[in-house]
Structure 1
Amino acid sequence: MSRPAARVVASRRLAVYLGIGAAGLLTAVLFGRPEAVAVVVPLLLLPALSLAAAGSPQLSIAISQARERAIEGSEVELSVSLEASRPLWGLRSELRVGREVTARPLGPSVSELRPGAAAELRWALTCQRWGGRRGGTLGISAQDRLGLFRYHWAELRLPGLRIYPAADKLRRLIPPARPQMSAGDDVSNLRGDGIEFGGIRQFLPGDRVRHVNWRATARRGSLQVNELRPERNADVVIFLDTFTELELGKENSLDRAVRAAGSIAGTYLRSRDRVGLIGFGGTLRWLAPGLGERQAYRIADSLIESEVIFSYAWKGLEVIPPRTLPPGALVVAVTPLLDERSLRALLDLGGRGHDLVVLEVSPLDFLAPAHDEPALLARRLWEMERQALRTSFVSVGVPVVRWDADRPLAAPLLAASRFRRERRLVAPR
């Protein structure tokens, strides 16, 4: 609980009273009309009494917030408890929050404060957009009984609020090509102890009897055993392109990219995979792959700090710490495919044999409609260039799937999985 000092300000009513009183006294002196003094004496007496009692009142303020972390679309309650040392009237409050949050008053308004009686102001903070909000400010003002003096308690700091991006529900993710050796939920291509069926082969000394496939044995006339595929975890790295940003109305490409990255990372972590993050832009951010709830919070905290920082500096894979890209990791790039530096880095990743998938946040959703023939022609040429760019990725075995605003996130991820599966089927042996 804090007790900030009040700033005392004379109101307009006091100026009016003093002006009328001075005019009455001047009239009595100039025109010899003593009755004018009797008329204005009350107007001068009231300011004198208020001035005598106009010392700075003590106001105890306690600010509490329901929680410090929230998800986009949720509400967080903010309450302010007030207790005054003497009566106050005309209580007003002004809550100033950032663009990530909107405030809605809760409960009845409070206009008076009595000594010893606490009053409570409450708001519902609606989280509109992800971000690390630094907290807002609260201004409180009140007046004396006659309204001649106002007291201001301004710039009271509010608690911070970290708003995490809303995550889409994803049932299926892109299966990694090379799972690791630790237990997990990803079915490995290797043969070993597991529960997933992997094929049938001839019985060999040392095989377990419970693995014998009696139907295949009866059909082929020799002992046949089932091969099983173990379930392993994988290393997954989310590559978030923060070099460029497109905006149309209240939506922008970075918002969609951050939400997609958060959804993908959270789903992989729930599957017991190790997940890391690379924020590739004007400022390089990275997190080495890790497991568990603590890693989920690290990734979420890093994502909400994402921003587009303008830079001419050329960056390539050499600026990324090697431990951030472990061997055999699946790299999921979330990018609008607009900046040359990101394009070169991703093509370099694919050319070096990394298991790479590119999720293209479609920039078409953030372009104004073309109305005349030259604009339509320019749009078609630009789309042809982008198709050629996608083809250059596919030529090195990297699938590029476009995510439009009217499609759920699961749709392009499913298309990427289908591409990788068909590519393995047609690959030469």
Structure 2
Amino acid sequence: MTRCGSPRLEGYAVLAGVGLVAALALRRPELAVVAAPFALVLAIGLQVAREPRLDIQFTVQGERTVEGAGVEAEIVVRAEGSVDRLELLLDLPKGVEVEGGDAVAVRLRAGEERTIPVRLRCSRWGVYEVGLVEARARDLFRLVVWEDRLSRVRELKAYPHSETLTRVLDAAETQAFTGSAVARVKGDGIEYADIRDYVPGDRLRSINWRASARRTDLVVNERYPERNTDVVLFVDSFADLRDESRSTLDDAVRASATLATRYLERRDRVGLVAFGGVLRWLRPGMGPSQRFRLIETLLETGVAPTYIWRDVDLIPARILPPKALVIALTPLVDPRFVKTLQNLRARGFDLVVVEIDPVGLVEPGRKELERLAYRLWLLDRQVLRSRLERLGVGIARWGDGVALESALEEVRTYRRFARVARV
């Protein structure tokens, strides 16, 4: 530990020195009497001051939490010698705070072990390194201070909280495995499709006895099978518009985590592509383990400055399987990502855009030219949406005061009527 003098040590030394010098210079012994207590405290205090021998450990009860939720942690301190005052301070990264304050002071006897509980709270999703502890010990007379900075780093992952979502979008095409989506082709399932004449080999339980009673021949029910779908979450990490309370990238990550959870609950395969300065992807998969892989990949998502024009060809083909539903989460502000959306649609992918609305994050400005530029920017965004909708891309505008459920309902309505219009 680093040893240094406290302000009290400096003050006592100045008072004692000034008093003794003044007593000699002015030949006033009473001044020496006044300075004597300060000199005595200095002599005794510096003689008895001993560097404390401490063992400090930091533990977190759990490696994962959800943003906004608390997680329990402990600071365990053991002193081989007595410490009159020990001050501990947790040096936490931005986004993590301690409920009730991050500093604590204790007094320890020789051989005593003290456990100090703390409760951490993550205000934002991400991967944090916590456990930097600053220790400051003081002697009995508060003359000497020992300081040390201990690294007891533990990794803490804060998962994004889920938005309220009870129903997700259905893909245009299904896959071959059993799931919760109703397929267009006929087969074994629960959803009624049609009736047809009986042929040898049909199951007895599929015979429609009421319809057969009205006809001379047996008829059987045809049904739509329940199949799973492939869903790829396409996150725009080229840009992040933010203010003090909201960020487009944060909203995109939260929506992605919510959609991934809901689709996996339906036994669909879900993959991820974070398309931006740093390209990250995860192959489609199923099950609870895939959910953890998806969310931990989302935790690494961030904006990395780049001027390279990235193309969709950089994404491996197996990451975007045929017949997959691609859900893009983007503020639609970077032309590189917009061009990629157009390329995906041109390749025949079933594409949906969840627009993380950035309008509330941009100030119109005070000058006339600034307000004019703002209105032109809004018109340009309307033109962009119209262009994507003409390509058959459903767009859900999601922003402040709008539930994700309501935004996706707009896409569901668009896809329903767009399908009728094409027919």
Q: TM-score range by the shorter chain?
A: over 0.9
Scaled by the length of structure 2, what TM-score is found? 0.93
Tell me what 1:72 maps to.
67
User: Please, which of 284, 288, 297 is the counterpart of residue 292 of structure 2?
Assistant: 297
Tell me what 1:59 maps to.
54
Question: How far 1:168 sits from its partner (Å)?
Answer: 1.6
Q: How far does the alpha carbon of each residue in 1:122-164 deviate from its partner, in whole angstroms, 9 at most, with x for none?
A: 2221121001112252212121111111121224444221111
User: Please, which of 176, 184, 188 is the counterpart of residue 181 of structure 1?
Assistant: 176
One-letter code aligned to 2:195: I
Range with bigger deviation, 54-63 or 24-33: 24-33
One-letter code aligned to 2:356: V
Matches within 5 A, 1:235-254: 235-254=230-249
2:82–2:111 contact (8 Å) kept in structure 1: no
Residue 111 in structure 1 maps to residue 110 in structure 2: no
User: Please, which of 9, 17, 30 is the counterpart of residue 25 of structure 2?
Assistant: 30
Distance in 2 between residues matched to 1:214 and 1:372, nearest whole Å: 77
Distance in 2 between residues matched to 1:301 and 1:364, nearest whole Å: 29
Distance in 2 between residues matched to 1:232 and 1:376, nearest whole Å: 51
User: Please, which of 107, 121, 141 is the counterpart of residue 116 of structure 2?
Assistant: 121
Tell me what 2:126 maps to.
131
Range with bigger deviation, 353-362 or 44-53: 44-53
Residue 20 in structure 1 maps to residue 12 in structure 2: no
Matches within 5 A, 1:240-279: 240-279=235-274
Residue 86 in structure 1 maps to residue 81 in structure 2: yes
Tell me what 1:3 maps to.
none
2:180–2:228 contact (8 Å) kept in structure 1: yes
Where in structure 1 are there 5+ consecutive unaligned residues?
A: 1-5
Distance in 1 between residues matched to 2:214 and 2:404, nearest whole Å: 46
Residue 362 in structure 1 maps to residue 357 in structure 2: yes
One-letter code aligned to 2:189: G
Distance in 1 between residues matched to 2:16 and 2:240, nearest whole Å: 63
Question: How far 1:208 sits from its partner (Å)?
Answer: 1.8
1:110–1:121 contact (8 Å) kept in structure 2: no
Question: How far 1:101 sits from its partner (Å)?
Answer: 1.6
One-letter code aligned to 1:57: P
One-letter code aligned to 2:263: Y
Range with bigger deviation, 53-62 or 82-91: 82-91
DSSP 3-state at the match of 2:51: coil
Q: How far does the alpha carbon of each residue in 1:41-90 deviate from its partner, in whole angstroms, 9 at most, with x for none?
A: 33223222222233321012121111111101110122112222222223
1:106–1:123 contact (8 Å) kept in structure 2: no
Residue 224 in structure 1 maps to residue 219 in structure 2: yes
Scaled by the length of structure 1, what TM-score is found? 0.92
Distance in 2 between residues matched to 1:203 and 1:250, nearest whole Å: 64
Q: How far does the alpha carbon of each residue in 1:389-415 deviate from its partner, in whole angstroms, 9 at most, with x for none?
A: 122222222212211221111122222
Tell me what 1:416 maps to.
411
Question: How far 1:353 sits from its partner (Å)?
Answer: 0.5
Distance in 2 between residues matched to 1:96 and 1:221, nearest whole Å: 84
Distance in 2 between residues matched to 1:107 and 1:129, nearest whole Å: 18
Tell me what 1:213 maps to.
208
One-letter code aligned to 1:58: R
Question: How far 1:115 sits from its partner (Å)?
Answer: 1.4
User: Please, which of 304, 308, 320 is the counterpart of residue 309 of structure 1?
Assistant: 304
Residue 407 in structure 1 maps to residue 402 in structure 2: yes
Cα distance change on mapping 1:127 and 1:172 into 2, 3 Å? same
DSSP 3-state at the match of 1:135: strand
1:98–1:136 contact (8 Å) kept in structure 2: no
One-letter code aligned to 1:424: R
Q: How far does the alpha carbon of each residue in 1:341-383 deviate from its partner, in whole angstroms, 9 at most, with x for none?
A: 1111111110111111111111212122566765555444333
2:58–2:131 contact (8 Å) kept in structure 1: no
Tell me what 1:324 maps to.
319
Question: How far 1:279 sits from its partner (Å)?
Answer: 0.3
One-letter code aligned to 1:264: L
Distance in 2 between residues matched to 1:107 and 1:239, nearest whole Å: 39
One-letter code aligned to 1:18: A
Number of corresponding residues = 423
> What value does the CA root-mean-square deviation take over the aligned residues?
2.3
Distance in 2 between residues matched to 1:372 and 1:227, nearest whole Å: 66
2:89–2:103 contact (8 Å) kept in structure 1: no
DSSP 3-state at the match of 1:93: strand
Range with bigger deviation, 178-187 or 342-351: 178-187
Cα distance change on mapping 1:263 and 1:285 into 2, 3 Å? same
Range with bigger deviation, 209-218 or 247-256: 209-218
DSSP 3-state at the match of 2:107: coil
DSSP 3-state at the match of 1:278: strand
Cα distance change on mapping 1:144 and 1:74 into 2, 3 Å? same
Tell me what 1:204 maps to.
199
Distance in 2 between residues matched to 1:403 and 1:108, nearest whole Å: 40
